[in-house]
Structure 1
Amino acid sequence: MKKTLIASAVAAAALSTSAFAEEYADKLDARLALMPTVYGNIQLAWAHTDMDPGNSETTGLVDNGSTIGFKHSHEISPGLTGFIKAELEFDADDKAGNGGLNAFDEAYIGVKGDFGKVWVGSDDSVYEQNIDYVVNFFEYAEYNIGGSYSTGEGDLVQYVSPSMGGFSAFGAVQINSNEVQGSAYPYQLGVSYAVDAVTVALAMDSNDGSTAYSKGAACVTAPDTVVLGVVVPGVETCSASDVNNENTYGLRIAYEMDNVMVSGEYQTRSDVQNQFGLIGVYTMGANQFALAYEWMESDAPGSKDEDSTVSLQALHNLSDNMYVYTEAYFSNKDDGTNDQDIAQLVLGATYVF
């Protein structure tokens, strides 16, 4: 009888402990679901540059875009998910005078569901994501040639539709304040089509307004004035770093099959520039090899500027979290009077978590 009572007591205690542990685990899971995901990377690089005519120089160890970020998503209701992302930058190379988190990259809030995805804040624009591929592919990219679109990455409302038979539409509008050269609302529109190994994207950027709102054009504050004995603070005005508001049009066609990817792009903006880029990428196990050619010709009245860049990359993934790479750039800059050749070698390493 006593053994039976003891056994019953032990069993009851075990069940009670198991129930407590299960309840605690459920509460812990609920709390963890409320916590954001922390991620980031440290990127360091070394570069040597030769210029002809010009001087040769070796860049010491430099930060190449280290960041730390936070992201989170949750179900608002069945079929509707809310999400946020915030990404801050820091310099990993210098300790003396280092301000820690000293710059800003992305921050936005949004919702997604069967209707597509809408997000508001600062992020790479939908035009950049769909068209301007080559310049964003390489790690160091000091002499790569980007497109001439000027709607920046700040204060954007962006939308991407769901895929409908391979077709998807996307757009963005920048919400400018009256303090930034008027109250224009630059916008981007585009469509993409993906079927099997081929992706085609066509987009435009209105280039209205000022790039100052998100690309840091110069801002000047007028001196304070005194009116009827009252001090009136000076107003800050930001000048546009843009040259006109002609539209930029871009087309990108990409083919990807197994371990080979080829992508070509063409971008044009009247009275500014025409740009072409072509890249091929080959992956072999933990290794990646890339070769790209970019060309730009100025369309500005009276300008004879013409730039070209050949870029090479050999990248090796040491693990899921760390990779090292070597990049070489061969660039030519010709303004019709002066012709300069530039060669650059870059060694770098990145740890991602």
Structure 2
Amino acid sequence: MKKTLIASAIAAATFSGSALAQTTASASELAARMDSMPTVYGNIQYVLYNDNFDGGPSSLEHADNGSTLGVKHEHEIAPGITGFFKLELEGINADDKDAENDNAGLNELDEAYIGVKGDSFGQVWVGSDDSTYERAVTEISEFYEVALLNQGVDYTTGEGDLIQYMSPSFGGLSLWAAVQVNGDNDTKAGSDKSFPYQLAAVYEMDALELAAAVDSNDTSDGNNENTYGLRASFDADALRVTGEFHTRKDASDTFGVIGYYTIGANQFALSYELTQYDDESSFGDVDSDTITLQALHNISDHMYVYFEGYLGGGDDVYEYEDELGNTAFTDERSIASVGAVYYF
């Protein structure tokens, strides 16, 4: 990634009183110092969407869809061993600076971690990041831009207080693990002292990817049954197809399949997801499904636009407030959205 204007300005200010003042410094030394600067990156994301409840309200919204600003860096600790860090913030509310929001600004943490990696031992890192289970087997629910109707997978280990490990590849097989440290003074809502863990195995061979994962769900949600997930993906030139299955006893089973097709600067995706809730779940014995369509066009190396359409169905699983202020339910909800993203 190219150095940003921010990074260049910092470098100029830093070197003006030292390195640049030393006429004996060579061009290669200055280039090496520039390369040692952290990389600043970010994006602005806008979306305009219509949300319609069948038999109920319909709303139009222009929103910030998750704009972020971040910085990352890595350096060689010793031959074959690299240290790294990443800090990414969100909460910009780029759609409306006058919005009545006491928390407006870069005040929400998305990712923050430090770690070390090497070819011989793999990678270990500590902090807040996408969890092992999420990275291994939840491709569909993490793919879309708006993602307001995609089926959520029932696992409870979060993305903070994590210690994660990813092994090197052994003939295409890599082993992943994570533990979340919820201590005595943890402030997360409803949390008790616990150490939930996640394990995953990912195998890659040519165009085929296979993954399996488990989340121990050792939290205070009243159901400590494990969540198990499977994913299979196949790449055939411009086409990628992925299937998923997730299950948790006394909670739910989720199935999903997605296909992507890329042609030039364009990408098209279509998916179907189904969640079947058990009698013991908070939803009762009901089904919920979603069909999602995406068409995306890359305008340049730093900007793209997209359309996404969602059609959700099920057994009265969508809740809304009617004109009298009463809670009502419907079995169908649809969302149509257009958006644009600029990133660097």
Do both proteins adopt the same fold according to a TM-score greater than 0.5, normalized to the shorter chain?
yes
* Distance in 1 (alpha carbons) for counterparts of 2:23 and 2:184: 58
List runs of 5+ in structure 1 lacking aligned partners.
Answer: 1-19, 210-239
Match of 1:352 in 2: 343
- Residue 178 (structure 2) pairs with residue 172 (structure 1): yes
User: Is the partner of 2:34 in helix, strand or coil?
Assistant: helix
- Moved >6 Å (runs of 4+): none
Partner of 1:134: 140
In structure 2, the partner of 1:117 is 123
Q: What is the alpha-carbon distance in structure 2 between the residues aligned to residue 93 and residue 86 of structure 1? A: 23
Amino acid at match of 1:195: M
- Other structure's SS at 1:153 match: coil
CA apart distance, 1:304 = 1.8
Quote the offset at 1:21 in angstroms.
Answer: 6.2
Counterpart of 2:203 (choices 193, 201, 205) is: 193
1:267 aligns with 2:246: yes
Q: For residue 335 of structure 1, report the CA deviation from its aligned partner.
A: 4.5
Q: Is the 8 A contact 2:53 2:330 kept in 1?
A: no
Corresponding residue SS for 1:128: helix
Q: TM-score, normalised by structure 2?
A: 0.84
Deviation at 1:146, TM superposition (A): 2.0
Give 1:107 deviation, angstroms: 0.2
| Structure 2 portions without partners, runs of 5+ | 1-21, 318-327
**Partners in 2 of 1:251 and 1:146 — Cα distance?**
15
Q: Which amino acid aligns with 2:285?
A: K
2-structure distance, mates of 1:291, 1:192: 24
Q: Residue 24 of structure 1: CA displacement?
A: 4.2
> Residue 279 in 1 paired to residue 258 in 2?
yes
Per the alignment, residue 320 of structure 1 pairs with 301
User: In the alignment, which of 315, 326, 330 is matched to residue 334 of structure 1?
Assistant: 315
1:100 equivalent in alignment to 2:105: yes
Q: Which residue of 1 aligns with 2:276?
A: 297
Give the SS at the match of 2:148.
Answer: coil
Query: Deviation of residue 278 (structure 1)?
Result: 0.5
Displacement of 1:307: 0.6
Distance 2:86 2:252 in 1: 34
**Matched residue of 1:346: which SS?**
strand
For 2:323, the equivalent position in structure 1 comes to: none
Q: Which amino acid counterpart does residue 315 of structure 1 have in structure 2?
A: L
Once residues 162 and 281 of structure 1 are traced to their aligned partners in structure 2, the CA distance between those partners, rounded to angstroms, is 28
1:213 paired residue number: none
Paired position in structure 2 for 1:182: 192
SS at match of 2:156: coil
Q: Please name the residue that 2:287 is paired with.
A: 306
SS of 1:23 mapped into structure 2: coil
- 1:227 aligned partner: none
Per-residue deviation, 1:299: 1.7
* Amino acid aligned to 1:107: A
Question: Which has the larger Rg?
Answer: 1
| Structure 2 residue identity aligned to 1:81 | T
Q: How does 1:32-181 map to 2 (within 5 A)?
A: 32-59=34-61, 61-89=62-90, 90-96=92-98, 97=100, 99-113=104-118, 114-180=120-186, 181=191
Verify the 8 A CA contact 2:316 2:332 in the aligned structure 1.
no
- 8 Å CA contact retained: 2:316, 2:331: no
- The SS at the match of 1:101 is coil
User: 2:14 maps to what in 1?
Assistant: none
1:258 corresponds to 2:263: no
The aligned amino acid for 2:39 is T
Report Cα offsets for 1:202-224 as digits up to 9, x if no partner: 01000002xxxxxxxxxxxxxxx
Q: Which amino acid aligns with 1:331?
A: G
Count of equivalent residues: 302
**Distance in 2 of aligned mates of 1:146 and 1:340:** 17
What is the CA-CA distance between 1:33 and the residue it aligns to? 3.4
Q: Is the 8 A contact 1:273 1:300 kept in 2?
A: no
**TM-score for the superposition, normalised by structure 1:** 0.82
CA distance in 2, matches of 1:349, 1:339: 30
**Percentage identity across aligned positions?**
52
- CA deviations on 1:40-91 (whole Å, 9 max, x unpaired) are 10000000122112111111x2000000000000000001000000000122
Q: Deviation string for 1:171-222 (max 9, x for gaps)?
A: 100011113443210000010110010000001000002xxxxxxxxxxxxx
Question: Which residue in the other structure is 1:236 paired with?
Answer: none
Root-mean-square deviation (CA), in Å? 1.7
Q: In the alignment, is the contact (CA less than 8 A) between 1:304 and 1:335 conserved in 2?
A: no
